[in-house]
A and B are shown apart, each in its own frame.
Chain A
Amino acid sequence: MVITFITIFAIGIAAGVVGAILGLGGGIIIVPALTLGFGMPMRTAVAASTVCIIATSTGAAVAFLRDRLTNTRVAIWLEMGTSMGALTGALVAALVNQRVLFVLFGLLLAYSAYNMFRTRKEHARPEVIPDAISAKLRLGGSYYDKALGRRVEYQVTRTLPGLVIMYFSGAAAGLLGIGAGIFKVPAMDQVMGMPFKASSATSNFMIGVTAASGAVVYFARGDVKPLVAGPVVLGVLLGAILGARLMMRMPASKIRLFFMPILAYTAIEMIYKGVKWW
């Protein structure tokens, strides 16, 4: 039993590191590891993974907030979209065809993977001119990039389309039981013109709130098994703290390179899940 605990703990650390660097919840590692590796039921794995999303978000946010990598104003603006979306998703989950959704969201991810590949060189990106809302709400920001050794100033644009995309990413989280960080990072990076590191840190900050309302449902149903969730969540917390420190010293281009295959893989996986039974 001790060996199992240690293995689950180690998986948690790995998921926390990856999740913190990429602005995702780490569910992409935890769910397959617990179901395929330990033969646990899907519900137990997804419930543990949801609590892990909160752990990644909370653990990594401390370092990101201190280094001003997180844009709290953008986060709160966009959280309106994600939280309303998650609410809608949870309410209509029983009414809609999940397979169609998987395909739709998979195609959307494939499109953002393609876009991210196209604009993979940071300097190839056009200059960002803030829109009226961004200027009024002072959404632009700056952070000190430890990898570049200089301060990065940036502006935010397309604030309303960003909010709408966040609504759908929140709905995806509610409907499909996933952490929607994989939608949030491209929405900020590709659509709103934020630097990749600020997008990742801000996504990381937001996923905790999206996951919290979902986690309550799993707790109420008794799907959160303390003996499974305990070690994995403790591992994720430590991994996220470590991952946040690593991320701040990594060049953004490396992180993007790391993000793209995960995005492409998730897109294929979602489309596959959607068409599997047709």
Chain B
Amino acid sequence: MVGIDPEEKAAEHPIELVLARLLRLGSLVAAALLAVGIALMVLGQSAVAPRLITAGLLVLLGTPVLRVLVAAVIFVKERDWHFALFSLVVLCAVAAGIYFGKGM
């Protein structure tokens, strides 16, 4: 039931693999920072702990934005101009949201 589909291996989907690697790296770094931060908190190191946790949360926050940026770069490399443009629109909207949001 769980067997690997032979077509699965043959199919080339570089963008999915690159994005998967990026998101895995982001979650691993964030999880490590959070885990160390929480462990230090429990051990009573209340000076460093919140900073480590905040760093972990910020890494997590940056990962999806970086994901859109990397997707845009891949589409430009593949000369897939439609999707490069779509990614750019998303990036601009997120950037504008951050810009206006901070002022609120």
Kindly list chain A residues whose C-beta atoms are within 8 Å of the C-beta of B62.
212
B45 at the interface (CB under 8 A from A): no
Query: What separation, in Å, do the CA atoms of A231 and B56 have in the docked complex?
Result: 11
Say whether chain A's binding surface is mostly helix, strand, loop, or mixed: helix
Kindly list chain B residues whose C-beta atoms are within 8 Å of the C-beta of A144.
5, 7-8
Kindly list chain B residues whose C-beta atoms are within 8 Å of the C-beta of A57.
64
Kindly list chain B residues whose C-beta atoms are within 8 Å of the C-beta of A83.
89-90, 93-94, 97
Query: What separation, in Å, do the CA atoms of A212 and B64 have in the docked complex?
Result: 7
Interface string of B58-72 (1 = CB under 8 A from A): 101111110110010
Say whether chain B's binding surface is mostly helix, strand, loop, or mixed: helix
Query: What separation, in Å, do the CA atoms of A1 and B58 have in the docked complex?
Result: 24
Kindly list chain A residues whose C-beta atoms are within 8 Å of the C-beta of B42.
1-2, 5
Contact present for A66 and B102 (CB under 8 Å)? no
Contact present for A65 and B71 (CB under 8 Å)? no
Contact present for A90 and B71 (CB under 8 Å)? no
Contact present for A62 and B11 (CB under 8 Å)? no
Query: What separation, in Å, do the CA atoms of A234 and B90 have in the docked complex?
Result: 27
Contact present for B57 and A224 (CB under 8 Å)? yes
A19 shortest CB reach to chain B, Å: 14
A76 at the interface (CB under 8 A from B): yes
- Output the nearest chain B residue to A211 by Cβ-Cβ distance: B64
Contact present for A58 and B27 (CB under 8 Å)? yes
Kindly list chain B residues whose C-beta atoms are within 8 Å of the C-beta of A200.
none
Contact present for A51 and B60 (CB under 8 Å)? yes
Kindly list chain A residues whose C-beta atoms are within 8 Å of the C-beta of B61.
51, 54, 212, 215-216, 219
Kindly list chain B residues whose C-beta atoms are within 8 Å of the C-beta of A174.
97
Residue from A65, A84, A212, A241 within 8 A of B89 (CB atoms) = A84
Contact present for A87 and B50 (CB under 8 Å)? no
Tell me which residues from 7 to 65 in chain B have a Cβ below 8 Å from any Cβ of chain A.
7-8, 11, 13, 15-17, 19-20, 23-24, 26-27, 30-31, 34-35, 37-38, 41-42, 49-51, 53-54, 56-58, 60-65
Extra 10 A-B pairs, beta carbons < 8 Å, given A55-B27, A59-B27, A208-B63: A58-B26, A76-B68, A76-B71, A76-B83, A83-B94, A144-B5, A149-B1, A212-B64, A220-B101, A238-B31
19 contacts between A and B (CB under 8 A): A54-B64, A58-B26, A65-B23, A66-B17, A70-B16, A72-B15, A76-B71, A137-B82, A208-B63, A209-B68, A213-B93, A213-B97, A216-B61, A224-B54, A230-B37, A230-B38, A230-B56, A233-B30, A233-B34
A interface residues, Cβ below 8 angstroms from B: 1-2, 5, 51, 54-55, 57-59, 61-62, 65-66, 68, 70, 72-73, 76-77, 79-80, 83-84, 86-87, 90-91, 137, 144, 146-147, 149, 151, 174, 208-209, 211-217, 219-220, 224, 226-227, 229-231, 233-234, 237-238, 241, 249
- Pairs of residues from A and B, 7 with the lowest C-beta to C-beta distance, nearest first: A213-B97, A83-B93, A208-B64, A230-B53, A226-B53, A217-B101, A65-B20
